[in-house]
Amino acid sequence: MFKQILKNFFILLSYALFILFSIARVVLKLLLPFNILLVIVFLLAEAIPEARFYVFFTALYPILNVILYIMKKTIITKPINFHKTKKEHISEKLSDIDTMVGLDFEHYCADILRQNDFKNVEVTQSTGDFGVDIIAYKGKLKYAIQCKRYSGNLGNAPIQEVVAGMSYYKCQRGAVITNSHFTESAKKLARANNVALWDREVLESMLAKCEKIQESKVDKKIETKETSNEHYSERAEYAQKLKDYEETMEQAKEVAKEEQKRECAKLLHDYTVETAEYISKFCQMNNYNLEIVGFIYEDDQIIYEVDISAPTRAYQISQSLSRLADYINVKSRDIKLSQKFVKSKHLGLSIPVPEYIKVKIMTIIA
């Protein structure tokens, strides 16, 4: 960029000198007969110093002729280039791409593909895209494309992600587009899985095609670099806001879910404690020496750890299970006595978790 400015400056300076020398030449040409006459007069009068002055101006005319001729044939014939060359413009665009964020690069690639004969180009959602950033069609083929703005060489990971995304989006071809290059391993994997690799050189050729299309559209206003960047920034800003909204909604859902879990746990705990009190009352009414020392939850069952003291026997409790089931409003086949707590030599009295609590738990899980 600096070299081009310096070059243009010297060409402009040459034009200015050319004009100045041309004017001087015209003036000298007009004064040439008068100068020669004065030189002869001063020489005859033997006034050598004065003659030298006019001899210098007389000799300057052919010297200026030579200088102007050389300038015409060399410097002046060169055009002043105030615009960037196509190659410089593309190089500048690639430099801009190297500093883009991921979302900007995805939308930028989508626009490039639209100008390279791809149809129905769509950028996928920013999260949960299954390794595919762009879906596009070319001819009868549907492409799953991943965009990778990267500083080093890309390995196997993006190819593997695109292969998985091809299956999900039902695409016939896959592609990875990048501002960088690929490792040899990635190239082998891509060939084996029918995935096209578009590296920096391919991206540059796509940009060149975009430049040709823009040049052919004479009536269309060409967007400047600043306008273009602002356009992509607005898109990226909208996409970021959408992503933030989705994340906020997900966080709100998680908070609500946690609250429901706490409510459900409290409901189950309250039911367990209340039922334990009913079991204790039943045993007191039947003169059973039974004490509930704890409880656990296992496979939709509430298992109470009970300590049965003499003279009460386990078989006495087992015979009363049907009456106990009626008392605590549980089906008799669902209440059981077992040797659950062998180490503490306590029995286990199990009852099912009520249906309404199970339904609430399943709702939260779903």
**Residue 339 sits in a domain of what CATH number?**
3.30.980.40
The answer to whether residues 284 and 342 belong to one domain is: yes
Lowest mean pLDDT among 51-65, 165-179, 269-283, 336-350: 51-65
Q: State the total domains in the chain.
A: 3
In a domain, 196, yes or no: yes
Q: How far is CA 149 from CA 96, 183, 243, 333, in A?
A: 11, 15, 20, 65
The answer to whether residues 104 and 190 belong to one domain is: yes
76-131 per-position pLDDT tens digit: 555 544 445 556 667 777 888 888 888 888 888 998 899 898 999 999 876 666 78
| Final residue before a domain boundary, out of 41, 73, 105 | 73
* pLDDT for position 254: 84
Q: Which residues span the domain enclosing 186? A: 86-222
| Of 312, 256, 252, the residue nearest 287 (C-alpha) | 312
| Of 102, 90, 158, the residue nearest 127 (C-alpha) | 102
In a domain, 244, yes or no: no
In a domain, 241, yes or no: no
The answer to whether residues 59 and 116 belong to one domain is: no
**Residue 123 sits in a domain of what CATH number?**
3.40.1350.10
The answer to whether residues 59 and 109 belong to one domain is: no
Alpha-helix runs per DSSP H in the chain: 2-44, 48-73, 86-98, 102-114, 157-169, 184-192, 200-216, 225-285, 314-319, 321-327, 355-365
* pLDDT for position 143: 94
The answer to whether residues 112 and 22 belong to one domain is: no
DSSP result, 272-332: HHHHHHHHHHHHHHTT--EEEEEEEEETTEEEEEEEEPTT--HHHHHHTHHHHHHHTT--G
The answer to whether residues 69 and 99 belong to one domain is: no
In a domain, 181, yes or no: yes
The answer to whether residues 182 and 276 belong to one domain is: no
Give pTM, 2 decimals. 0.39
The answer to whether residues 294 and 182 belong to one domain is: no
pLDDT at 52 over 70: no
Confidence band of 307 (pLDDT split at 50, 70, 90): confident
Structure tokens at 356: 């309404």
The answer to whether residues 177 and 289 belong to one domain is: no
Three-state SS letters, 84-130? CCHHHHHHHHHHHHHCCCHHHHHHHHHHHHHCCCCEEEEECCCCCCC
* pLDDT for position 159: 92
In a domain, 308, yes or no: yes
Q: Round to whole Å and give the CA distance between 246 and 123.
A: 17
Instruction: Put the strands of the sheet holding 141-148 in their side by side order.
Output: 119-123, 134-138, 141-148, 173-178, 195-198
User: Length of the chain in residues, anyone?
Assistant: 366
End-to-end Cα distance, the chain: 61
In a domain, 169, yes or no: yes
Confidence band of 338 (pLDDT split at 50, 70, 90): confident
